[in-house]
Amino acid sequence: MLDYAIYIPRLLKRAIQSVDLTHVCRQWRIVAIDHPGLWSHIIVGTKFTDEFLRRSHREPNAITYTTRGHSPMEYLSDGPRADDMEDLAGIISQNLSRTQSLHLTGTPTQFTAILPMLLSPAPVLEEAILKDTLIILPMGQRNVPSLPSDFFSQSAPRLRHLHLHGWTIPWPSITFNTLIYLHLSRPGVDAGDRGEFGEVLSALSRMPLLEVLHLRDVLPPACLHAPWQPINGPKQVVALPSLRELVLTDTARGCYLVLDHIAAPPITEYQIDGTDHGGEGDLFARWLYKMTKTSLPICELYVSQMPEAFQIPAYSKSEGLPEGKLLFDLNLGGQPEEEYTRREMEGLFNALPLEHLQILHICYNTDSTFSDWPGIFCGCINLWHISLDCVVDDGKMPVIDQLFAIDLSPQTIIMPPPFPPFPSLKSLNLCDVDFGRVDKVHDKFLTWLGRWGPFKTLFLKGSIINTALTDRLKALPFELIIYD
272-311 tens-digit pLDDT: 998 876 667 788 999 999 999 999 999 999 998 877 778 8
Amino acid, res. 449: L
**What is the reported pLDDT for 398?**
82
pTM here? 0.85
Residue 401: CB atoms within 10 A of its CB come to 14
Instruction: Yes or no: say if 338 and 308 are a contact pair by the CB < 8 Å rule.
Output: yes
Q: Are 265 and 241 in contact (CB under 8 A)?
A: yes
Average pLDDT, the chain: 80
pLDDT band at 377 (very low <50, low <70, confident <90, very high): confident
In this prediction, residue 74 has a pLDDT band, given cuts at 50, 70 and 90, of: very low
Taking the C-alpha atoms of residue 444 and residue 415, their distance in angstroms, rounded to an integer, is: 26
Confidence of residue 352 (pLDDT cuts 50, 70, 90): very high
Distance from C-alpha of 98 to C-alpha of 360, rounded to nearest angstrom: 52
Higher pLDDT, 55 or 389: 389
- CA 244-278-137 angle, to 5 degrees, is 70
Termini Cα distance of the chain:
48
Beta strands at 42-43 and 2-5: parallel, antiparallel or unpaired: parallel
| Per-residue pLDDT band at 333 (split at 50, 70, 90) | confident
Cβ pair 377, 388 in contact under 8 A: no
Q: What is the pLDDT of residues 128-148, one digit of tens each?
A: 999 887 655 554 445 667 888
Predicted confidence (pLDDT) at residue 483 exceeds the cutoff of 50: yes
Q: Is the dihedral of CA 188, 190, 195, 196 positive or negative?
A: positive
For 125, 262, 318, the CA distances from 99, given in Å and listed in that order, are: 6, 33, 41
In the predicted structure, residue 78 carries a pLDDT above the cut 50: no
Evaluate whether 474 touches 449 at the Cβ level (below 8 Å): no
Distance CA 84, CA 218 (A): 33
**Strand pairing report for 325-333 and 309-316:** antiparallel
For the cut 70, the answer to whether the pLDDT of residue 16 exceeds it is no
For residue 4, what are the contacts with CB-CB under 8 A and spacing of at least 6?
43, 44, 45, 64, 65, 66, 80, 84, 88
